[in-house]
Amino acid sequence: MKMNTRTWMITGASGGFGRLMSERLLQRGDTVIGAVRRPQALDDLREKYPNTLITVQLDLTDADSVRTATDQAFAAVERIDVLVSNAGHGTFGAAEELTDAQIRRVIDVNLLGSITLIQAALPHLRAQGGGRVLQVTSEGGQIAYPNFSAYHASKWGTEGFIESVAQEVAPFGIEFTLLEPGPSQTGFGAALDFAPALPVYDQTPSGATRRMLEDGAFAWVDPGKVADAFIAVADVSPAPKRLALGSGPYHQIKDALESRLAELQAQHDISTAVDA
């Protein structure tokens, strides 16, 4: 292996940002462990990079599968420098339009899957003396759109988990960055699990958001540039806690934070009056 190369474990490496990252990293000489539900989806890359691409089978909805795949990944190489928790699932619909199964799946994949993956990786990262974890959430980890309530619940929950665990493991040299890109045309929108629309929501913000999605009116980010930014942030030290990617996410997150801060400050007297 060349000097200064790294080893990465990437979930969801067969598509979207995970695939783009894998292609770029392999091309520059890094080793990639692609954790995917269908290892054959990476056959073309394996033919091209037989010595630097390793695949493990992982289903984020199956905790045993996550733990087994993570153990296999760390056993296959001397060290994993960067773990990219990237795989995700999206559900679209007003809250009362969603089925129990749709809600459970997005929570199982995005929130519980990410938690289990990180839990499984932490003992290995500690044993090797540290490492970097890149957790893909989205702008939806700090702001919210109508019709994405279950998705936002999973992403806000993931961000809260990372905020806490990052403090726990910092003494072991393990660093985290939350990656918050805006919508991108990587196939995520086409793969959304849509709930049937209730007519009562047609003339509401829910209906407007549905039409925006159908019309492609969201502000898109460039998937290749986002993948490049994901890779580059692994070299930034100390690791930034968050990285918003896209003009839309930057300004919308900024506006949301300023609005929440203003509301908090306006409640100062009420908030502090209840101290024991």
Question: Of 141, 142, 133, whose CA–CA distance to 230 is shortest?
Answer: 133
Which DSSP symbol is given to 113?
H
Phi, psi of 153 (to 5 degrees): -60, -40
Supply 46's token pair: 């394996």
3-state secondary structure of 209: helix
User: Which residue in the list 49, 151, 201, 250 is annotated as catalytic?
Assistant: 151
Q: Which two tokens stand for residue 98?
A: 């969603």
Nearest to 243 by CA among 132, 121, 104: 132
Token pair for residue 152?
Answer: 């936002």
Catalytic residue list contains 151: yes
List beta partners, residue 10: 34, 84
Buried b (16+ CB within 10 A) or exposed e, 223-238: beebbebbbebbeeee
CA terminus-to-terminus distance, the chain: 61
Residues tagged active-site: 151
